[in-house]
Amino acid sequence: MQMKKGSAVWKCVALWALLATQDLWAEPHLKSIKVAITNPTGENRPAENIVLPVPELKKIAPDFYPGSQIVTASNASTIAEDATVLHPTELPSQVDDLDRDSTPDELAFQIDLKPHQTRIVTITWGAVDRIFRLRGDYEKQTNAIFTKKIDGVGWESKRDAFRLYFDKRNAIDLFGKARPSLQLDRYATPGYVYHNYSPDGRDIYLVADALGIGALAGWVNGTAEHVADVDDRGYRIVSTGPVRAIIELTYKGWKIAGKNVDLQERITQWAGERGFLQTIESSNAGDLVFATGLTQQQGIPELRSPATDDPAWLAMWGEQAVEGGNKAVSPILRGSNLGLAIVMAPGSGAAVNKDSKDYLFTFPLKNGIASWYSLAAWDQEGTNDPIAVDGAGEPRYYVARLADIDHMTSQEQLLAYVKQVAGRLKTPVTVKVLSSAAEAQSAPADSLHPIGSRTYKQAIDLLQKEIDRTAAKWEPVIAAAPPSGVGDSAGDGFFTDGDNQTGEWKPQKGFFWTGSFWTAELWKMYSLTHDEKYRRWAELWASALVGKEFEHDTIIDTMMNLQLLWWASHEAGDSKYRDVALKHALRAADWFIRNDGSVIQSVHYNPGDNRQQFQLSGNGSFVFPNDAKPGERVFYHTHQGYSWETSWSRGTAWALYGFATTYRETRDPKLLHTAQTIADYIIAELPEDGVPWYDFCDEGVMYRNRDTSAAAIASGGLLQLAALTRDAHKAQAYRSQAERITHSLIDRYLTPTYKGDATPPGVLRHGSGTHPADGMLIYGQYYLLETLIQLDSAISTGNRPAAQ
């Protein structure tokens, strides 16, 4: 009777603690919005330009944090399909303030779209110290400058660069590039002559007194009048970056056709594009007709779109690039072709015209606005594009590209490109925001609709079925393997990971470092059931492992292996094993555990030989010159987490379990504090269902892998810690969190998880050995079984689970 009463009281207290700690993981650290982007045409749309107004996003998610965002895309076309994608593609993005009020106005990025393809884009945001641990370093792809050295304002992508003479000429000139790169800053260098031949790029165009390439003019008495006579001429570089550059020009008091016109012009250069978009706006232009065009050169004929086409376009192809030299006026470069084009915005009402200097479009403003796109394509573009070579220490050892040069060499190619630009302007992609509110990245779809709540005993029975099924299949394999042929990477009969759906283990050569988990699982089942078949199976596999131990790198996982040293110390009655383990644990606490409880996976140090070359797990050797003294750390990194500055969840769980066990053996208060710090970090970082992402910092942003093995290990570590912590409230909180994690595992991730689930019973789904791998893991199976046995035993005896 007393036992039942104690059991009931313990359950009641556990329930209270469970409810009290639920809010610790109620709010995700990172939130997102889902957007569907669709190509409505039958043409490929590489690097399609996308602009999302920030105020519209804030209507859906008021806490949207522009500037601290990551944009990713999957090839899924629906939210349901997107939920199954493990590794979306990161898209460089940029936030721009268009009106100088220090408030973000637009989020811009580019996306590749196949014909009629819909892709799901996820916009994720959060605190800077989280987002920028994940977000890539986006290389600058556009630039804009203003300097007297280039006579005004310039803008560029890596394909080509343009400049606007910021004076009465108000014409647009061209720098052609043989090497794809940003070069405006070089052109602006004092003393540098950008007309001279260069392996990279130079001024290749002769504007003279014409408009050049798409410059703005007024149409007066049959002539394109430059924006020359103005009271004030202003500029502002709005943005430059990985996605686009924007320049704003203002003209006040332009004297034209008897009018005094105020005008604003915006130039937008997108990454990777050969051209740029111009948009002009005026509230007092009245009925003024505007003009833009291309300079007539060398008798090259104009190429026009059919009269019925909208948008209308104008192009030229031929020898119109100039030779290099130290003068602005040079002879035409023979044997080299330059293509130029202008594409008007759809519905512009543009008319075909020309004067003595330019081929023109003339057009009115509609609702005070007009837009057009101007481009250039030189046949030398990209002809000096070096390719990096692995192992090449300097760029001079790179190779020069001859094949697959991305440039245009014929009029037909130019016109095809112009028509593509026209098609994009005429039929833009569609953008649909799918989210009605900010949301966290979803857990795996097959975990969202559990059948019901299981008891620990029911879950153990499911695991037992998986063990029986596995042993029956693999016993003949291990029995047939000659012991002499078995090693960490040789021999049959071993496995580490399996398939989420079939429940089948994947064969591997050798026992790797994971072979003993299967043996341990068999011993656990034998201790629970006393069924001799489990003992026989355990001894069969153990016989293949004995004497085959091997060393590991200095990684956080080794905290789990200290249990062998505690055992050796007890069995041998020799304290040296204990002393070695304690020394290792204390150093690991200093080296691997950050102040917030997050964990470093791997630390390399000088073992005394002053080494300058190190072996990175899975990545070969790494040469790192250093002056570290013997025993000092040289560097740290990860090979299974997201990055060196994040916290790999399974490694964090190993640390929790290992430090709890080490404190149990030593009672060193520093080790208890370390274990509690790690536990508190884990609890604060857990998602809603208690099963961590593969990395605590990456909440399904870059890789959408949960790791049930990390959950199982962490649950066991929390149980250990609960039994060791003297603070009753803390102890109960740890125990309650362990129970909640375990219930989530057995209800949502242990098969069968939903009605009609065809996977064999007892498969713990969604472990992640190394992202983006997703499947069952042998150590997840083992630690779940270990924890379930502890919890079930506590219920049957009415006692709290004891530290093992």
CATH of the domain at 45: 2.60.40.1180
Q: What confidence tens digit (pLDDT) does each residue in 671-718 have?
A: 999 999 999 999 999 999 999 999 999 999 999 999 999 999 999 999
Q: What confidence tens digit (pLDDT) does each residue in 248-307 have?
A: 999 999 999 999 999 999 999 999 999 999 999 999 999 999 999 999 999 999 999 999
Ranges of residues in the chain with a pLDDT under 70 are: 1-26, 328, 545-561, 564, 618-619, 799-804
pLDDT of residue 2: 38
Nearest to 681 by CA among 658, 703, 648, 706: 648
Residue 20, SS3 per DSSP:
helix
Query: Secondary structure of 626-660 in the HEC alphabet?
Result: CCCCCCCEEEEECCCCCCCCCCEHHHHHHHHHHHH
pLDDT of residue 18: 42
State whether 424 and 546 are in the same domain.
Answer: no
5: in domain? no
Q: Using an 8 Å Cβ cutoff, are 381 and 177 in contact?
A: yes
Q: 0.85 exceeded by the pTM?
A: yes
544: in domain? yes
pLDDT of residue 724: 97
Distance set, CA 147 to CA 159, 188, 195, 271, 538 (Å): 21, 7, 16, 22, 77
- Tokens, residue 246: 């924007």
Residue with tokens 């005094």: 260
State whether 359 and 276 are in the same domain.
Answer: yes
Biggest alpha carbon distance in the chain?
A: 108
Q: CA-based angle 429:431:436, to the nearest 5?
A: 170
549: in domain? yes
Query: For strand 259-270 and strand 369-378, is the pairing parallel, antiparallel, or unpaired?
Result: unpaired
A 10 A CB-CB count for 304 gives 14
Query: Secondary structure of 499-535 in the HEC alphabet?
Result: CCCCCCEEEECCCCCCHHHHHHHHHHHHHHHCCHHHH
State whether 216 and 98 are in the same domain.
Answer: no
Query: Domain span at residue 233?
Result: 143-433
Phi-psi region of 798 (alpha: psi -120 to 50; beta: other; left: phi over 0): left
State whether 691 and 542 are in the same domain.
Answer: yes
State whether 251 and 389 are in the same domain.
Answer: yes
Work out how many domains the chain is built from and give that number: 4
State whether 77 and 199 are in the same domain.
Answer: no
Identify the CATH number of the domain in which residue 791 sits.
Answer: 1.50.10.10
pLDDT of residue 550: 44
State whether 531 and 654 are in the same domain.
Answer: yes
State whether 256 and 318 are in the same domain.
Answer: yes
What burial letters (b/e) apply to 110-148, b meaning 16+ CB within 10 Å? bbbbeeebbbbbbbbbbeeebbebbbeebeebbbbbbbe
State whether 282 and 252 are in the same domain.
Answer: yes
Spacing of C-alpha 402 from chain mean position: 32
State whether 100 and 177 are in the same domain.
Answer: no
Domain termination residue (choose one: 105, 134, 163): 134
Query: For strand 303-304 and strand 313-318, is the pairing parallel, antiparallel, or unpaired?
Result: antiparallel
State whether 219 and 283 are in the same domain.
Answer: yes
- Tokens, residue 656: 């929790």
345: in domain? yes
Q: What one-letter code names the amino acid at 174? A: L
16: in domain? no
Q: Using an 8 Å Cβ cutoff, are 4 and 798 in contact?
A: yes
State whether 493 and 366 are in the same domain.
Answer: no
576: in domain? yes
- Tokens, residue 344: 């008007």
15: in domain? no
24: in domain? no
Q: Using an 8 Å Cβ cutoff, are 102 and 95 in contact?
A: no
Residue 613, SS3 per DSSP:
strand
Please list, in sequence order, all residues whose beta carbon lies within 8 angstroms of the beta carbon of residue 365, skipping any fewer than 6 positions away: 280, 281, 282, 285, 288, 290
pLDDT of residue 756: 95
Q: Using an 8 Å Cβ cutoff, are 349 and 288 in contact?
A: no
Distance CA 602, CA 591 (A): 9
Q: Helix axis angle, 708-724 relative to 649-666, nearest 10°? A: 20
